[in-house]
């Protein structure tokens, strides 16, 4: 147990006190992780992917690069295989597996994966490639898995809109609703499994029409034959009117039963749910890959509305179409019934739709269409969002009454717009209710004489009156379907704009390709150099460089101009400079969130970069889920939990530690059968111990499971029990737990007093010097160097001082090496370093 080899491992083991079958962690001493001499100079080579994420375009020849680190002597190999995530084998890519071999001296290798070209639009879908079964080598701890994003080149909903989509949101907003709706339905039908479901629905929906036909025919039959002439030739059971009536009665029961079974099957097929699911998941995927420009154009309430409401509304589209077709089928059936039973009814068959058409036209003149309420609904929901987000500010500045008034004014305005809409809807629909009585009354007035005179049978007369009623209600439901389809045009347009906004996936693709190629190039060059000291991996000697970086602001001012600076991996770099000198911009460039106007930021492709924002974020999740957010399954490993506890101790986060211990204690309780039941109502008995399950299941209880609820209720309100500084430390601890090779922190010390800031820098210092915090010093050389960049208002010159200062002055960056200065001038001691640097600051490569 424990991660440390040698002395450190023994220390760990002695600190574990077992209780409840689990581990209790005690406070660690300050010198626990003093660097130890390396014992792994002749360790095995490492094989891993050349980057954590690759991006492939549809239909392209795609290669995933792998790298071998170490001595490169001898032949090594491992096994690889693709694994589906949101992208599935057979639709996005071809499942591939096999052996990948590095011959003696071979640095780089690649795997070909076939990416399928599909004409159907999809959000950026992903799959994974896993390495396993190493032979003569070990696999990289993190990069034995890589993710592949597949860049979809199609426009939403289909390629019919490719040209308009390329012109941007403005052009898309002018697109006409009906053709867009048709293309959208085509896309919905292409969702796997939807075509046959929809076909079956169309077919079986006509059963309902057949049933209406049966009801009409049978009522005519009952009046004219069973209770009328009792013609033996027309009775089902010749000579037995009663028996025939019983057969008919049975059919009255059996047919609705069949319809009921169909209704049940249709509900289970759930085309609407499948379409909504596709839209909602696609929207979230798309949004999470948005470029910063796209993100800036969409507000949070808009995203929420599109995902919660519009996606669900649009999910009903195929249902509307099938209902419309069912109504159309019924109309045809009713009219043909009317004509077949009395050819003289042709006038009614023609007149009814004509009257309807005239009414629709007249309505356009007579009724003024009221204003749409969308903009007002949006205003109300935006204000709701603002009030919830800024409530402390509103309350603190005594502005609750003002906000209440603003809210009331917006709701009043919305009501003013919605009221005429209700009246409009009522007035435009009343005519359908009148159509049936009008035609029935007319028919009774003019056709009853024919029944009395014996020219028209009573059965046909009564059935025709039913037909008028049915046709009128059918027009109403047909109109309802059309209205429902028309009501979808606006949300569809919004969703189309949303789903055609630009993502940063194409940029990421270029970046990854460039970095992988540059890294391979650099590695080849380094191979020409003499063998470095034992334990040193040449790839780790590739520096992180800014090459002729320029950054222009929109005002055309040069924020950075021709910056050439580099730092070797494994250093703690503090970015210092006056307010507005460009520190944050550089932080964003290092984290690949912003591209320089020109020039390059060169970071070896295999180094995982993590940006820690200045804003403190705690997720609405448990303490452990927060701490292991970067690698959720790691919580299942005892050594990772131990390391996390150790990090909390180093940062002196005693309250978080208590919370994490409580959560571990709950999760360590024996598993009962009901623990993974999501529905609390179902219980299998209290004391049954669970059967075998995946090793991480205990530590990652599914959302809504009994254990997840137990943790949530035991730790309810845990965030409020943390001081602000502890919350800020948790924000940093989460990054240290994830253990990326490059940690980029935006003003991490701004939330701390001097003592706490010192603690944080000490941990960051250990992170770079020991290549990770609370990990074995003995295995340091087997890990990749850790490099940390952080922006700072001030820099303390003491034990925990940065290795390098990048000073921002006059649109450039001047590197300084405080350790070297300290050696030259030991009297400087622990003094805050002023921000303005002497003009004679050093420049060039780090020593």
Catalog residues that contact ligand ATP under the rule CB under 6 A: 553-554, 559, 577, 579-585
Give the pair of three-digit tokens for residue 515: 């970095």
* Distance in Å, CB of 622 to ligand ATP, minimum: 33
DSSP bridge pairs for 128: 83, 147
Nearer to ligand ATP, 488 or 583 (CB): 583
| C-beta of residue 527 within 8 angstroms of C-beta of residue 68 | no
* Distance in Å, CB of 791 to ligand ATP, minimum: 6
d(CA 336, CA 372): 40
* Distance in Å, CB of 615 to ligand ATP, minimum: 12
Nearer to ligand ATP, 274 or 583 (CB): 583
Give the pair of three-digit tokens for residue 505: 């996936």
3-state SS, residue 705: coil
Q: How far is CA 37 from the centre of its chain?
A: 45
Residue with tokens 């409840």, as numbered in its chain: 20
Nearer to ligand ATP, 492 or 792 (CB): 792
d(CA 429, CA 447): 29
Q: Give Dmax over CA atoms of the chain in angstroms.
A: 126
Nearer to ligand ATP, 273 or 580 (CB): 580
Of 142, 118, 115, the residue nearest 46 (C-alpha): 142
Nearer to ligand ATP, 582 or 604 (CB): 582
d(CA 146, CA 140): 11
* Distance in Å, CB of 295 to ligand ATP, minimum: 13
DSSP 94-117: ---EEEEEE-TT--EEEEEEEBP-
* Distance in Å, CB of 92 to ligand ATP, minimum: 36
* Distance in Å, CB of 293 to ligand ATP, minimum: 11
Nearer to ligand ATP, 460 or 581 (CB): 581
In 772-799, which positions are buried (b, 16+ CB within 10 angstroms) versus exposed (e)? bbbbbbbbbbbbbbbbbbbbbeebbbbe
* Distance in Å, CB of 795 to ligand ATP, minimum: 14
* Distance in Å, CB of 528 to ligand ATP, minimum: 38
Write the CB contacts of 477 (distance below 8 Å, at least 6 apart in sequence).
Answer: 323, 327
Nearer to ligand ATP, 463 or 835 (CB): 835
d(CA 624, CA 698): 13
Of 412, 411, 483, 489, the residue nearest 179 (C-alpha): 489
d(CA 74, CA 433): 87
* Distance in Å, CB of 558 to ligand ATP, minimum: 11
* Distance in Å, CB of 835 to ligand ATP, minimum: 10
* Distance in Å, CB of 507 to ligand ATP, minimum: 17
Helix axis angle, 317-341 to 194-221, nearest 10°: 30
3-state SS, residue 808: strand
Give the pair of three-digit tokens for residue 81: 């295989």
Write the CB contacts of 126 (distance below 8 Å, at least 6 apart in sequence).
Answer: 85, 86, 87, 147, 148, 149, 150
Of 570, 576, 591, the residue nearest 744 (C-alpha): 591
Nearer to ligand ATP, 140 or 582 (CB): 582
Give the pair of three-digit tokens for residue 453: 């005179």
* Distance in Å, CB of 105 to ligand ATP, minimum: 45
Nearer to ligand ATP, 582 or 701 (CB): 582
* Distance in Å, CB of 555 to ligand ATP, minimum: 7
Question: β-strand 742-745 against 609-612: which pairing, if any?
Answer: parallel
Nearer to ligand ATP, 482 or 594 (CB): 594
Nearer to ligand ATP, 529 or 579 (CB): 579
* Distance in Å, CB of 841 to ligand ATP, minimum: 17
d(CA 320, CA 317): 5
d(CA 252, CA 491): 43
DSSP 557-613: -EEEEEEEEEE-SS-EEEEEESTTSSHHHHHHHHTTSS--SEEEEE--TTSPEEEE-
Nearer to ligand ATP, 583 or 780 (CB): 583
d(CA 746, CA 751): 11
Q: For the chain, first and last CA: distance in Å? A: 39
d(CA 123, CA 310): 17
| C-beta of residue 169 within 8 angstroms of C-beta of residue 500 | yes
Look up residue 228 and give its DSSP letter. Answer: I
DSSP 161-173: GHHHHHH-HHHHT
d(CA 346, CA 676): 65
* Distance in Å, CB of 577 to ligand ATP, minimum: 6
Residue with tokens 């295989």, as numbered in its chain: 81
Nearer to ligand ATP, 176 or 556 (CB): 556
Nearer to ligand ATP, 329 or 582 (CB): 582
* Distance in Å, CB of 73 to ligand ATP, minimum: 47
Query: Is the N-terminal amide bond of 157 cis, ω within 30° of 0?
Result: yes
Nearer to ligand ATP, 321 or 559 (CB): 559
Nearer to ligand ATP, 487 or 553 (CB): 553
Q: How far is CA 546 from the centre of its chain?
A: 33
Helices (H), 270-316: 271-288, 292-297, 300-305, 311-315
Look up residue 397 and give its DSSP letter. Answer: T
* Distance in Å, CB of 582 to ligand ATP, minimum: 4
Nearer to ligand ATP, 472 or 581 (CB): 581
Q: How far is CA 66 from the centre of its chain?
A: 28
* Distance in Å, CB of 584 to ligand ATP, minimum: 3
Nearer to ligand ATP, 538 or 585 (CB): 585
């Amino acid at each position: 147990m424990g991660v440390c080899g040698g002395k450190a491992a023994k220390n760990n083991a002695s600190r574990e006190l077992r209780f409840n079958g689990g581990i209790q962690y005690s406070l660690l001493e300050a010198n626990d992780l003093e660097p130890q001499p390396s014992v792994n100079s002749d360790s095995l080579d490492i094989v891993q992917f050349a980057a954590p994420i690759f991006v492939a375009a549809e239909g392209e020849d795609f290669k995933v690069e792998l790298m071998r680190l170490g001595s490169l002597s001898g032949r090594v190999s491992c096994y690889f295989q693709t694994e589906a995530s949101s992208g599935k084998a057979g639709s996005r890519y071809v499942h591939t597996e096999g052996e990948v071999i590095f011959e003696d001296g071979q640095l780089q290798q690649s795997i070909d994966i076939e990416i399928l070209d599909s004409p159907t639009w999809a959000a950026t879908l992903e799959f994974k490639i896993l390495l396993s079964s190493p032979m003569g080598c070990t696999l990289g701890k993190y990069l034995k898995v890589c993710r592949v994003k597949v860049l979809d080149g199609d426009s939403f909903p289909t390629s019919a809109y490719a040209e308009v989509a390329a012109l941007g949101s403005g052009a898309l907003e002018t697109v006409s609703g009906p053709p867009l709706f048709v293309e959208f339905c085509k896309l919905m039908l292409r969702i796997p499994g939807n075509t046959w479901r929809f076909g079956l629905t169309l077919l079986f929906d006509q059963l309902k029409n057949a049933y209406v036909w049966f009801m009409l025919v049978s009522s005519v039959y009952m009046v004219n034959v069973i209770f009328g002439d009792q013609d033996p030739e027309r009775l089902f059971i010749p000579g037995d009117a009663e028996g025939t009536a019983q057969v008919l009665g049975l059919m009255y029961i059996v047919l609705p039963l069949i319809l009921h079974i169909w209704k049940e099957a249709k509900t289970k097929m759930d085309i609407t749910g499948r379409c909504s699911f596709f839209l909602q998941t696609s929207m979230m995927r798309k949004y999470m890959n948005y470029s910063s420009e796209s993100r800036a154009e969409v507000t949070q309430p808009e995203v929420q509305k599109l995902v919660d409401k519009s996606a669900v509304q649009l999910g009903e589209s195929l249902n509307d179409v099938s209902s419309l077709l069912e109504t159309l089928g019924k109309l045809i059936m009713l009219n043909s019934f009317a004509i077949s039973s009395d050819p003289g009814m042709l006038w009614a068959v023609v007149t009814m739709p004509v009257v309807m058409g005239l009414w629709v036209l007249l309505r356009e003149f007579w009724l003024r269409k009221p204003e749409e309420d969308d903009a007002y609904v949006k205003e109300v929901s935006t204000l709701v969002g603002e009030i919830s987000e800024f409530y402390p500010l509103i309350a603190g500045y005594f502005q609750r009454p003002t906000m209440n008034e603003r809210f009331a004014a917006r709701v009043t305005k919305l009501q003013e717009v919605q009221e005429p809409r209700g009246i409009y809807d009522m007035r435009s629909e009343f005519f359908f209710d009148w159509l049936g009585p009008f035609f029935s009354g007319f028919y009774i007035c003019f056709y009853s004489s024919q029944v009395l005179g014996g020219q028209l049978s009573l059965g046909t007369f009564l059935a025709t009156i039913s037909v008028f009623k049915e046709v009128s209600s059918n027009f109403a439901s047909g109109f309802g379907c059309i209205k429902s389809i028309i009501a979808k045009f606006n949300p569809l347009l919004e969703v189309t704009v949303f789903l055609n906004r630009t993502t940063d996936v194409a940029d990421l693709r270029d970046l990854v390709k460039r970095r992988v190629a540059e890294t391979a190039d650099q590695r080849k060059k380094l191979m020409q150099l003499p063998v470095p000291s034992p334990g040193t991996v040449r790839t780790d000697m590739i520096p992180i460089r800014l090459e002729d970086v320029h950054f222009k602001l929109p005002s055309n001012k040069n924020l950075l101009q021709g910056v050439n600076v580099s730092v070797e991996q494994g250093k703690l770099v503090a970015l210092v400079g006056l307010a507005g000198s460009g520190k944050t911009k550089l932080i964003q460039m290092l984290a690949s969130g912003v591209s320089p106007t020109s020039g390059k930021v060169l970071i070896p492709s295999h180094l995982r970069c993590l940006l820690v924002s200045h804003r403190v974020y705690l997720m609405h999740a448990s303490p452990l889920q927060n701490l292991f957010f970067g690698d959720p399954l790691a919580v299942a490993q005892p050594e990772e939990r131990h390391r996390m506890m150790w990090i909390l101790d180093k940062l002196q986060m005693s309250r978080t530690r208590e919370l994490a211990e409580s959560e571990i204690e709950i999760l360590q309780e024996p598993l009962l059968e009901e623990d993974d039941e999501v529905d609390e109502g179902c219980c299998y008995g209290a004391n049954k111990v669970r059967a075998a399950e995946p090793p991480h299941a205990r530590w990652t209880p599914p959302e809504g499971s009994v254990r997840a609820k137990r943790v949530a209720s035991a730790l309810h309100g845990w965030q409020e029990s943390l001081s602000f500084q502890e919350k800020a430390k948790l924000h940093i601890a989460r990054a240290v737990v994830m253990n990326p090779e490059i940690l980029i922190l935006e003003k991490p010390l701004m939330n701390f007093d001097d003592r706490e800031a010192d603690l944080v820098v000490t941990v960051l210092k250990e992170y770079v010097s020991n290549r990770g915090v609370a990990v074995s010093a003995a295995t340091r050389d087997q890990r990749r160097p850790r490099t940390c960049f952080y922006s700072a208002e001030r820099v303390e010159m003491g034990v925990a001082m940065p290795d390098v200062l990048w000073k921002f002055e006059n649109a450039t960056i001047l590197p300084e090496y405080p350790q070297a200065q300290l050696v030259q001038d030991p009297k400087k001691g622990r003094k805050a370093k002023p921000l303005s640097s002497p003009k004679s600051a050093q420049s060039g490569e780090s020593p």
